[in-house]
Copies of this chain bind each other. A is one copy, B any other.
Amino acid sequence: MKEKGLLIVVSGCSGAGKGTVLAELFAKADRLSYSVSATTRLPRPGEIDGVNYHFVTKETFEDMIAKGEILEYTTYAGNYYGTPKSELKKTESGDSLILEIELEGATNVKRMVPDAVTIVIVPPSLEVLENRLRSRGTNTEEDIARRMKQAAVELRHITDYEYIVLNETGHADRAADEILAIIRAEQSKTARNPDLVGSLTVNN
């Protein structure tokens, strides 16, 4: 049923546990690739070019933007972070591609790649989110208030996503299973299987 891999956009608000869910997902999934972002920030010790990020200069990044080679990008602390369109070629092998982006970016990706699948990972409730931030112990009350405010702003975007996956505390594996089900279902969409449809209707 897999004629071409899917582009799967995954976002999550602070404290949603997106990193844990994606680690579980990659441990369970076959034929799944990860989209490596380009950035202008300097590599940290241990980071490998082409694995953690494509590390490029500001001039190169701006040149890629000008040439339309960047799918979506954002700036943070004076550096660019973005998805090179060349990453999408990973889907041509039939592998699906996970593109991890900020909640604000889904609408832009969907406009450029209309058949992208968009998934947002959320905590069960705002109370659970606050408890998670508090239980880390490293956050001051000001930090918690600031992060809750940030989460509220991010959560306004959840209706931009086609799928919403609840990450219950201690059950990241279930959230990963839910994403696997979404991938499998999307691969079964009639519109994604033109060869099969064609072979069954060709002589009618």
Q: Which residues of A contact B (CB under 8 A)?
A: 1, 120, 122-123, 125-126, 152-153, 155-156, 158-159, 161-166, 178, 180-182, 184-186, 188-190, 193, 196-197, 199-201, 203-204
Chain B residues whose CB sits within 8 angstroms of the CB of A184 once the complex forms: 178, 181-182, 185
Chain B nearest CB, measured from A25 CB (Å): 14
Which residues of the partner chain B approach A152 to less than 8 Å between Cβ atoms? 203-204
Q: For A188, give its contact among B165, B197, B201 (CB under 8 Å).
A: B165
Please give the distance in Å from A156's CB to the nearest CB on chain B. 5
A163 in complex: contacting residue of B120, B178, B185, CB < 8 Å: B185
Report the nearest B residue to A186, measured CB to CB. Answer: B185
Contact yes or no, A190 B159, CB < 8 A: yes
- CB contact under 8 A between A199 and B126, given known A156-B204, A184-B181, A190-B159: yes
Shortest Cβ gap from A111 to chain B (Å): 18
The 5 A-B residue pairs with the shortest CB-CB distance, nearest first, are A185-B185, A181-B184, A181-B181, A182-B185, A164-B190
- The answer to whether A164 touches B181, judged by C-beta atoms less than 8 angstroms apart, is no
Assuming A126-B200, A178-B184, A181-B181, is B166 touching A189 (CB within 8 A)? no
Other-chain contact of A204, B155, B165, B200 (Cβ < 8 Å): B155
B196 with A122: CB separation less than 8 A: yes
Contact B120 A190 (CB under 8 A): yes
Known: A126-B199, A158-B190, A164-B188. 20 other contacts (CB 8 A): A122-B200, A125-B200, A126-B200, A153-B204, A156-B201, A158-B201, A159-B190, A159-B197, A161-B190, A162-B190, A163-B185, A164-B193, A164-B196, A164-B197, A166-B196, A180-B181, A181-B185, A181-B188, A184-B185, A185-B185
